Amino acid sequence: MSSNIFVVGADPFNMEKVRRLNLGVDHRIHELLSFDEVKGGGYYPVEDCLALAEQRLAAFDGSIDAIVGYWDFPVTAMTAILCRRHGLTTPTLESVLRCEHKYWSRLEQCRAIPEFTPGFTQVDPFSDDEINNIELPYPFWIKPVKGTDSLLAFKVRNREDLRSSIAAIRREIHRIAEPFDHILSHARLPEEIVPVKGHHCIVEELVPGRQCTVEGYVHDGEVHHHGIIDSINYPQSSSFLRYQYPSRLPRRVKDRAVEATRELMQHIGYDNATYNVEYFYQPKTEKLVLLEINPRLSQSHSDMFEKVDGASNLQIMAELALGQPPDFPVREGRYGCAAKFHVRVFEDGIATHVPDGNELEQIRQRFPGTLIELKIKPGMRLSELIEQDSYSYDIAHIHTGARNQKELLEKFNRILEALHFEFAPVGADEDKAPAVPGIAVQ
């Protein structure tokens, strides 16, 4: 009899990969909730989605064997809630929130691995008194206690930056605060966390360095890792340029990150699911600082694992949900390294030309193994894109692989030259339109 696996927050690009998984057992994949239903509108109707998921599960004529999701908020929390209701394999909602609630997570990090935890505090952005008495020195980051894709995360260098950041947060934070409060209402919270609502923010020490991510899973209490990925920003920017696998960090640094992650995940009590934990590494001092814990795999890494190791990390997610110990290959893929590149524009504009299907097919034929995700359509204004960081617009993703980093970056630059976007200006600068960054990465 087939096992039935239900996917929360399904999108076409990743669902194609999920449907191709080889799990070694007869199984069927079902879309429980689509990406658009869960978060495609730029808001998060948590209670409506939970009710809709329950209606669809109740109407299903067959066994419910696993419920999975690969997106961040609210998919991670909703998946834990649904699995708990149906007695399925899942981490507890509270362990998920110890990762996702940025303030709660920092408190737990201080208890488990204090030497890896930066300075931080929490603040109510609607309290002038609290804002005027932030104790961390400039510069620092301010962001919601629950974020997604760097939404409303601001680098604050001075008082003027703080004023403008607080204004934007007050204007927009309800979009994520209200649904996060709905999620918190399903959990048993410690007394120190109860007063920190969804509209609160965390203020964190600004830590420079090279960013990397330890990705792995916990199975029956034992913490494993299956890869370390480098995260590389655009020059002089906090916006991501690419994720690259395998990491080029020194072995001793990677070993320290893996050990710190093991201690942390065991302390949090997270079990039987995937995770990814992000760090900053400072080469001069060899200091490692933890950025955040994500209680899920990174779907941004899936194609890279497939290209280098020969299987997607989505396989691990599904195997764990079915109660199976993961069986993941190592370096059995076609390429020596791979990356996911983010094509960004740093000014607002209206898309007047976006590559069509024929143009994309020509690029794929020139560069075999390359996948391109377009995030915009003709006529779209960039500022209407959802879940963007505070400084850029993410217009396309390029997934590709090569023998080594040199070939990888040369290949990306050729692909970028072949991708043709055009934008019309917005506002007063009618003679000045934004352009796709024609950078040569190194």
Does residue 424 have a pLDDT over 70? Answer: yes
Residue in 411, 407, 385 with CA at minimum distance from that of residue 396: 385
Task: Give residue limits of the domains in the chain.
Answer: 3-93, 119-205, 210-424
Strands 3-10 and 27-34 turn out to be parallel
Q: Which of 349, 316, 295, 307 is nearest to 24 (CA)?
A: 316
CB atoms within 10 A of CB 36: 11
Res. 433: pLDDT tops 70 = no
pLDDT at 149 over 90: no
Instruction: Tell how strand 66-69 and strand 3-10 pair up.
Output: parallel
In this prediction, what percent of the chain has a pLDDT beyond 90?
A: 87
Q: How far is residue 94's CA from residue 39's CA, in Å, rounded to a whole number?
A: 22
pLDDT tens figures, 347-403: 999 999 999 999 999 999 999 999 999 999 999 999 988 877 778 999 999 999 999
Residue 247 CA to residue 228 CA, distance in Å, equals 5
Q: What is the rounded distance in angstroms from the CA atom of residue 348 to the CA atom of residue 395? A: 11
The pLDDT of 282-304, averaged and rounded, is 95
Q: Hey, what CATH class is 210-424 in?
A: alpha beta
The fold of the 3-93 domain, in CATH, is Rossmann fold (3.40.50)
| pLDDT tens by residue, 349-358 | 999 999 999 9
Name the DSSP letter for residue 137: P
Residues in the chain: 442
Contact between 23 and 322 under an 8 Å Cβ cutoff? The reply is yes
Assess if CATH 3.30.70.260 describes domain 119-205: no
Whole-number Å distance between alpha carbons of 249 and 228: 9
Strands (E), 237-346: 240-245, 273-282, 287-294, 337-345
Dist. CA 237–CA 336, nearest whole Å: 28
Residues 6+ apart with CB under 8 A from 298: 213, 215, 229, 243, 276, 313
pLDDT tens, 204-261? 999 889 999 999 999 999 999 999 999 999 888 878 899 999 999 999 999 999 999 9
CA 349 to chain centre: 25
Q: Residue 87: name the closest of 324, 326, 325, 321 by CA.
A: 321
Poorest-pLDDT segment among 236-240, 261-265, 307-311:
236-240
Alpha carbon distance 429, 418 (integer Å): 27
Using DSSP, state whether 374 is helix, strand or coil: strand
What does the alpha-carbon distance between residue 194 and residue 189 come to, in Å, rounded to a whole number? 6
pLDDT class of 39 with cuts at 50, 70, 90:
confident
Residues in CB range of 106: below 8 A, 6 or more apart = 117, 120, 202, 204
pLDDT band at 432 (very low <50, low <70, confident <90, very high): very low
Distance CA 309, CA 392 (A): 32
Coil, helix or strand at residue 222: strand
At 82-139, the pLDDT tens digits run: 999 999 999 999 999 999 999 999 999 999 999 999 999 999 999 999 999 999 999 9
Residue 202 has pLDDT above 70, yes or no: yes
Residue 102, C-beta contacts closer than 8 angstroms, at least 6 positions apart:
143, 144, 145, 146, 147, 202, 292
Sheet holding 27-34, edge to edge: 27-34, 3-10, 66-69
pLDDT at 439: 37
pLDDT (0 to 100) of residue 240: 84
Nearest to 261 by CA among 253, 328, 172, 180: 253
